[in-house]
Amino acid sequence: MTKISEEVIHIRIFYLIIACLAVTTCGQKPTQFERINHLGELKAGIFLSPSRFYFNGSDYINIDQQHLIDFASSLDMDIKIITADSYETLHKLLATNEVDIITGNISNLGQYENELSYSPPSHTISHILVGNRSIRPGQLADENLNIVVSKGSIAENIINQHTELRSKVSVIDSSNPYFLLNLIEDQIADFAILPRETFEILRFSFPSVKIFLEFENLSPISWAMSNSDSSLFDKVSEFYLDYHFEAADRNLSLDIAALESFNFFDLRAFKRDFENILPNYLDAFIEAENIYNFDWELLAAIAYQESKWNQDAVSFTGVRGMMMLTQDTADFVSVNNINDPTDQILGGARYLRELDAKMPERIQGTDRLWLTIASYNLGFGHLEDARILTEIRGGNPDLWSDVENNLSRLEDEYWIAYLKRGYARGNEASDYVKNVRRYYELLKLMSFNEYFASN
């Protein structure tokens, strides 16, 4: 056996030390971020909240998901996002290392407070106790009433802080707000605790549910990750320093004032028709949207205002069908069969596009839209009279608000003398546009809720 000299041994030890220094993981477990960086992919878990979406013109975008994508992009790596069906599942994904980071109504308060690392909060949310309208406020103290909360949610922590409610609570596995609200609406459960922001989006789809109690404390919402070391937390903290969450946050841009005009009975009737009647005609409305480039929800709103989606409707003036077209108008827009609901919808959409084409090009945006819809009800000539009258009285004939303020004068004997086309039911046209606007908003919201529930 060849004897190795002491000098050779020293040289080999030297190079071994150099190699260990060159490889940071030599003899050490890699940090969280080193492991993620080595794989080149960030794995994130998310619980989707309906209040964290916005519409970009063609699709619904989740804000929290976009934040995660931007974070991965800042690290120059790919991202894999796993959607969890509950808060408990979300935390299990993190505990089993199936994801590196989680988000979606995650707070640094509650049962996981000492087990995880939390980013600085991106925003805060508040919580409310909601219940069925049939329950009177004085019944809140009734021991037989029950409150449902989702396992692993912030609501569970809130209950722990309110001992007077604890005995009434049932913790359920589902974190789906639709499921919780359906339990209340169907009177299977009496109350639930939800984020107020979530209920504000869903409440118009659940008219039998109302707010009974608002909890004072705001809950900070953060990203959560393992606290085994600080490497990933440090990267997240750096990202938070430069990232403008306020600028990135958007919402569904709903006209809440229009939605608030519905009372309980309006909402209940509309929801019934939305669920039972609209599906029969939805394909036709979507076809009309594709051909004439109006939102199907807008066309359906007009149809609901005209006929409550009744294809056999006939008015006292003789107009008929779901879109209430006169025979002359039906002939003008080439309706083949006035009794066919698809032909009615396509004919109404084409007529609306014809009216839009008559509007001066300088009128744009919602002013153009509401003026066009007013002319659908009033007639284009009478709308022109209203615009001329608006200008005579010092208003802007291209602004819907100014024109609307003068519609009532189409019925005023004093002003009729100035009108080329004479008397018209101007007040009715004003109410017509108001109703179409609120049905349009409600349809956008309900269609989003269906999209969210199915995804």
Confidence of residue 248 (pLDDT cuts 50, 70, 90): very low
- The domain ranges of the chain are 33-123+227-248, 127-217, 259-454
Per CATH, domain 127-217 is 3.40.190.10? yes
Cα separation of 183 and 177, whole Å? 10
Strands (E) in 15-146, as ranges, are: 41-46, 53-55, 60-62, 78-83, 101-103, 116-118, 123-125, 127-132
Backbone angles phi, psi at 234, to 5 degrees: -65, -40
> What integer is the mean pLDDT of 243-268?
74
Task: Examine the pLDDT at 26 and tell me if it is beyond 70.
Answer: no
Of 104 and 15, the one with more pLDDT: 104
The count of other CB atoms within 10 Å of the CB of residue 56 is: 8
Cα separation of 190 and 147, whole Å? 6
Task: Examine the pLDDT at 407 and tell me if it is beyond 90.
Answer: yes
Task: Examine the pLDDT at 18 and tell me if it is beyond 60.
Answer: no
Q: Which residue carries 């009216």 as its tokens?
A: 355
What's the CATH number of domain 259-454, 2.40.70.10, 3.10.105.10, 1.10.530.10, 1.10.3210.10? 1.10.530.10
3-class state of residue 156 by DSSP: helix
**Do the two domains 127-217 and 259-454 of this chain adopt the same fold?**
no
Please tell me what DSSP assigns to residue 51: G
Q: Quick one: CATH architecture of 33-123+227-248?
A: 3-Layer(aba) Sandwich (3.40)
pTM over 0.85: no
Confidence of residue 25 (pLDDT cuts 50, 70, 90): very low
Residue 396 CA from chain centroid, whole number: 34
Q: Exposure pattern of 176-207 as b/e (b: 16+ CB <10 Å)?
A: bbbebbebbbeeebbbbbbbbbbbbbbbbbbb
- Residues 162 and 129 sit within 8 Å (Cβ to Cβ): no
In tens, the pLDDT along 115-126 reads 899 998 888 899
The token pair at 403 is 């024109």
